Amino acid sequence: MTQIAPVAHSLQPRASSSKESEKPDIQMPVAPSGSESIPVAFDSAYTWNYDVERADLRQLYEKSKELQWNSRTYLPWDTNVDPEAENTPDSFIPIFGTPLWDRLDKKRELPKLRQFATSYMLSNFLHGEQGALLATSQIVQAVPNIDAKLYAATQVMDEARHVEAYDRYLRDKVQATFPISPYLRTLLDQILQERRWDMKYLGMQILVEGLALAAFGFIAQTSQEPLLREIVKMIMQDEARHVAFGVLSLKGVYDDMTAGELRDREEFIVEASRLMYDRFLMQEVWEQMGMPTAECVEIARTSESMRLFRSLLFSKIVPNTKRLGLLTPAVRKGFEELGVLHYESWDASA
């Protein structure tokens, strides 16, 4: 199994000049292109029992068929978007209010930083959506139950629509796309290469989708840009169903697992959570801007507003982990280290 380790980021600050005129032009990120294959191996399950075994999943399947929407015709794509405007309050950019922020050239650098910060966040949503597209198509195959197969098939379609919408927004409106964060890539590879179907669910439906749902909710509440708000609003309706699918499917699965089997799940949750947490330090944005990356990452890691933001991302994951009976002492410790354990008493559906 090929495991992709997170790429170490260059922490060398670029040579900077005190004279404004000598500063090099800010380059646009190079959009990812081409395709890439990774080897996967897991058991594909036929099921010869077509009876309804799980009425709750059938109900979700019915709901999913009724709530399909067309991203091309439903969304107001003719909205004008200025990618360099303050579409999301500047205060959510990690270095906001620091001396580094004060030194930004407000005409040349600040608009680019806004564009890159938006692009970076949405690019990783786009790549995450593709990961979800691949993972749910695997779930269709791997899960041994017809109700889950039928539902998962509708989710594959949902994810295709999400890929389409984010790609179009990035391409036409933000006009910049970043490659996938190495942290997210590592996590997606692990989920796709995992043999055990419950781990695919756990990784994608509970962890990645749980975080996406919280992050999309954050955008829906803070963005001033109407098209993006509409996109995330539509996608969130789908994602809420996807998380529900994960919770319903995994309910009871961990009740009589052996300590050894459970340990694998615990380690997976803690490692995946760490990868997702690190993904929001925006290394690639600082590099692209020619800013001192190590310093910016440190600010993103420690600033109070960013800690709040990153911890908010776990507001669905922690209560759902608990609902599945997986908030064991080891997982509890991992969440505590990330500063997100306090969400254990939250209502995941809120």
Collect all residues with Cβ–Cβ distance below 8 Å to 40 and sequence separation of at least 6.
138, 192, 193
The span from the CA of 273 to the CA of 262, in Å, is: 17
Question: Which amino acid, one-letter code, is at 254?
Answer: Y
Number of residues forming the site for Fe ion (CB under 5 A): 7
Cα–Cα nearest to 188, from 36, 343, 16 = 36
Shortest distance (Å) from residue 242 CB to Fe ion: 4
Angle between the N-to-C axes of helices 304-312 and 293-302, in degrees from 0 to 180, rounded to the nearest 10:
70
- Closer residue to Fe ion (CB): 120 or 216: 216
**Residue 285, interface with Fe ion (CB under 5 A)?**
no
Stretch that binds Fe ion, among 16-24, 100-108, 166-174, 237-245 (CB under 5 A): 237-245
The span from the CA of 9 to the CA of 7, in Å, is: 6
Window 305-324: residues binding Fe ion (CB under 5 A): none
- Closer residue to Fe ion (CB): 192 or 341: 192
CB atoms within 10 A of CB 22: 9
- Closer residue to Fe ion (CB): 162 or 200: 162
Shortest distance (Å) from residue 129 CB to Fe ion: 5
- Closer residue to Fe ion (CB): 209 or 225: 209
- Closer residue to Fe ion (CB): 198 or 287: 198
The span from the CA of 128 to the CA of 26, in Å, is: 27
Contact, 151 vs 64, CB < 8 A?
yes
Shortest distance (Å) from residue 113 CB to Fe ion: 27
Shortest distance (Å) from residue 132 CB to Fe ion: 5
DSSP assignment of 234-271 equals: HHHHHHHHHHHHHHHHHTTTTTT--HHHHHHHHHHHHH
- Closer residue to Fe ion (CB): 127 or 162: 162
Cα–Cα nearest to 61, from 249, 317, 217, 319 = 249
Contact, 116 vs 29, CB < 8 A?
yes
Residues 241-270 as x/- pattern, contact with Fe ion by CB under 5 A: -x----------------------------
Shortest distance (Å) from residue 162 CB to Fe ion: 4
Residues 124-163 as x/- pattern, contact with Fe ion by CB under 5 A: -----x--x--------------------------x--x-
Window 161-180: residues binding Fe ion (CB under 5 A): 162
Question: Which amino acid, one-letter code, is at 118?
Answer: T
**Residues forming the site for Fe ion (CB under 5 A):** 129, 132, 159, 162, 209, 239, 242
